[in-house]
Amino acid sequence: IRPAITVAARSVRLSASLRHQLSTLAILEHRDGQLNAGSLSALTAAQKLGGPVHGFVAGGDATTAAQAAAKLEGVEKIISVNNSAYDKGLPENFAPLLVENIKKGGYTHVVSVHSAFGKNLMPRVAALLDLQQISDITAVQNENTFVRPIYAGNAIATVESSDPIKIITVRGSAFPAAVTESGSAAVEEGVDPKAESATEWVSEELTKSDRPDLATANRVVSGGRGLKSKEEFDRLMVPLADSLGAAIGASRAAVDSGFADNSLQVGQTGKVVAPQLYIAVGISGAIQHLAGMKDSKVIASINKDADAPIFQVSDVGLVGDLFEEVPKLTEQLKK
């Protein structure tokens, strides 16, 4: 009994001292000074940890981004590093930048959204600090304990970290975005180690669209292999999306067949979405697709196969030929 008491006493002392010092740095993504909606979820997750939250922005437009970030609810201070070397988010120089600012600020938690940028960067930061990152969390239980889906969301693990600093990425769809308030947090200049990057950014090709961003949209209409061709995908899905003001998604089968761009893929290996409404058209509902959308509030599906697994998770299903039903649906929604 005695050793158990000692261990318990020590862990209580430890957690009390940690609580005392707990402070979190939330990495805020931005493009040309405009804050990324997904990273506002990281800020909400950071607030759930309980301590003061600082935001971090870097890049040539960091000042603009910092001013916007300073108005966000629940943020005490913004650390800003103005240097265009960080514009492309190259982890080779961004990771050392974060490491220096984490050390300087004495943070116990560092949080980013599990976006392409966060996934690329945060493990590099963790390894430089000899820490084991906790990826894609969906809930914070306490300062050491986090919930995360594994096996494409087929199991939910609760994990406790013993690392002195927790490096965390969060699932954007699991935390509401922090809201903008009129408040104004202090903006402080961060340290800039000016590390060199071994890689050089050459170019990018982004899908231009006026539609809401897939990852954060309230409504998503998603097409699968059943649409048969890119022409049919565009002919049927675009008007349907327009009638709802929805973002367009796609299954891996549709992406692999060239019906839709890769960046529209919903699933374990693509985007994870949790909109108010998800309409699955011609999608069978494979495990890896369900991993990306089964936390949607309402799921509707149209499929000609009455036994398709998608119907098992749909709140409302329509068995029928999508080439007939989708135009009818679009018509009715327009009214």
Partner 1 sequence: MSALRILVPVKRVIDYAVKPRVNKAGTGIETAGVKHSMNPFDELSVEEAVRIREKKRAPGGVEDITVISAGPAKAQEVLRTAMAMGADRAIHVDVKEGEDLEPLGVAKLLKAATAEHQSNLVILGKQSIDDDANQTGQMLAALLGWGQATQASKVEFGADDSVSVTREVDGGVETLKAKLPMVITTDLRLNEPRYASLPNIMKAKKKPMEKKTLADYSIANDKRLKVLKVEEPAPRQGGGKVEDVGGLVGKLKELGAI
- Window 273 to 292, contacts with partner 1 (CB under 8 A): 276-277, 287-288
| DSSP states of 276-299 | SEEEEES----HHHHTTTTT-SEE
CA distance 13 to 127: 28
Rounded to whole angstroms, what are the CA distances from 292 to 21, 62, 199?
36, 32, 31
CA distance 39 to 29: 6
Is 109 annotated to bind a ligand? Reply is no
- CB of residue 198 to partner 1, shortest distance in Å: 3
CA distance 33 to 204: 18
- CB of residue 232 to partner 1, shortest distance in Å: 18
Stretch that binds partner 1, among 6-14, 56-64, 183-191, 325-333 (CB under 8 A): 325-333
- CB of residue 249 to partner 1, shortest distance in Å: 13
- CB of residue 215 to partner 1, shortest distance in Å: 7
Residues with Cβ within 8 Å of residue 117, at least 6 apart in sequence: 29, 89
Is 124 annotated to bind a ligand? Reply is no
CA distance 43 to 68: 13
Is 284 annotated to bind a ligand? Reply is yes
Is 137 annotated to bind a ligand? Reply is no
And the tokens for 247? 């973002």
Geometric angle at alpha carbon 290, from 287 and 296, rounded to 5° = 165
Residues 187-205 as b/e (b if ≥16 CB within 10 A, e otherwise) read beebebeebebeeeeeeee
Does residue 117 touch partner 1 according to CB under 8 A? yes
Question: Which C-beta is closer to partner 1: that of 184 or that of 207?
Answer: 207
Is 276 annotated to bind a ligand? Reply is no
- CB of residue 189 to partner 1, shortest distance in Å: 25
> Which residues, 121 to 150, sit near partner 1 by CB under 8 A?
121-128, 130-136, 145, 149-150
> Which residues, 5 to 64, sit near partner 1 by CB under 8 A?
38
Residues 104, 188, 201, 334: which binds partner 1 (CB under 8 A)?
201
Running DSSP on this structure, what letter comes out for residue 77? Answer: E
* Residue written as token pair 């997904």: 38
> Which residues, 61 to 90, sit near partner 1 by CB under 8 A?
88, 90
Does residue 306 touch partner 1 according to CB under 8 A? yes
Question: Which C-beta is closer to partner 1: that of 70 or that of 222?
Answer: 222
- The neighbouring-strand residues paired with 188 are 79
- CB of residue 66 to partner 1, shortest distance in Å: 22
* Interaxial angle between packed helices 91-105 and 116-128, expressed in degrees from 0 to 180 and rounded to the nearest 10: 60
Question: Which C-beta is closer to partner 1: that of 51 or that of 285?
Answer: 285
- CB of residue 203 to partner 1, shortest distance in Å: 5
> Which residues, 214 to 233, sit near partner 1 by CB under 8 A?
215
Nearest to 56 by CA among 2, 5, 117, 14: 117
Please state the residue numbers annotated as binding site for FAD.
225, 251-252, 265-269, 282-289, 303
Q: Binding site, residues?
A: 225, 251-252, 265-269, 282-289, 303
